[in-house]
Chains A and B, each alone.
Chain A
Amino acid sequence: SAVISQKPSRDICQRGTSLTIQCQVDSQVTMMFWYRQQPGQSLTLIATANQGSEATYESGFVIDKFPISRPNLTFSTLTVSNMSPEDSSIYLCSVARGGSNTGELFFGEGSRLTVL
């Protein structure tokens, strides 16, 4: 398994501001992902965080709005830029270990963001 810590666990932000969410894993992992879960909805993949290079974004998500960093194999950040109320969601960090015999993803508890 993998222990994933996300900070902050929740925050209330003003429209137009930006917030950076941190994801720390207790051991080195191959893949790191960021998901968004809007109220009452399923999870939507935002991007794959690539170590030492630009993240790979899914359709509908752009780097200017959701810049991502991954400086090493245990840490990543997601910034939600120029926030609007529509960005109110839970943002989840997820990781995978290469070579796993299950191919499973492990998820953090999420960061609940409310934009006023």
Chain B
Amino acid sequence: DAKTTQPTSMDCAEGRAANLPCNHSTISGNEYVYWYRQIHSQGPQYIIHGLKNNETNEMASLIITEDRKSSTLILPHATLRDTAVYYCIVRPWMDSSYKLIFGSGTRLLVRP
């Protein structure tokens, strides 16, 4: 069963912030939230991950609610190149297998 729920698709205007929600209401205390994206005809690419604090890197920001049951990935100034499928995944940090189980993801379309 999928451990995360994401909207099937979203769109935003170029230059505006893209806010992608993810529901993970059954997340365990040792599970991190990971975000990956897959641009058409490419392999998935790591974006960001977090446990309970908000995180920011050069690509995006990750906002995790205090109860950790949901999160939002923020692309502050979306460009056309950000058009992709975005996957929210939960995984135990100490899972030595490192494997990722992908859900359906959100297809983000950035409009000119």
Q: Which residues of A contact B21 (CB under 8 A)?
A: none
A-to-B contact residues, CB < 8 Å: 4, 30-31, 33, 35, 42-45, 48, 92, 94, 96, 98, 102-110
How many residues in B have their beta carbons less than 8 Å from beta carbons of A? 23
Inter-chain contact A30/B49, CB cutoff 8 Å: no
Inter-chain contact A43/B97, CB cutoff 8 Å: no
Inter-chain contact A31/B98, CB cutoff 8 Å: yes
Residue of A nearest to B96 (CB): A98
What does DSSP make chain B's interface, helix, strand, loop or mixed? loop
Binds A, one of B12-20, B37-45, B67-75, B76-84: B37-45
Contact of A102 among B41, B49, B105 (CB under 8 A): B49
Say yes or no: A105-B97 contact (C-beta < 8 A), given A42-B103, A42-B104, A43-B102: no
B 79-99 binary contact with A (CB < 8 Å = 1; else 0): 000000101000101000111
Say yes or no: A42-B99 contact (C-beta < 8 A), given A102-B46, A107-B44: no
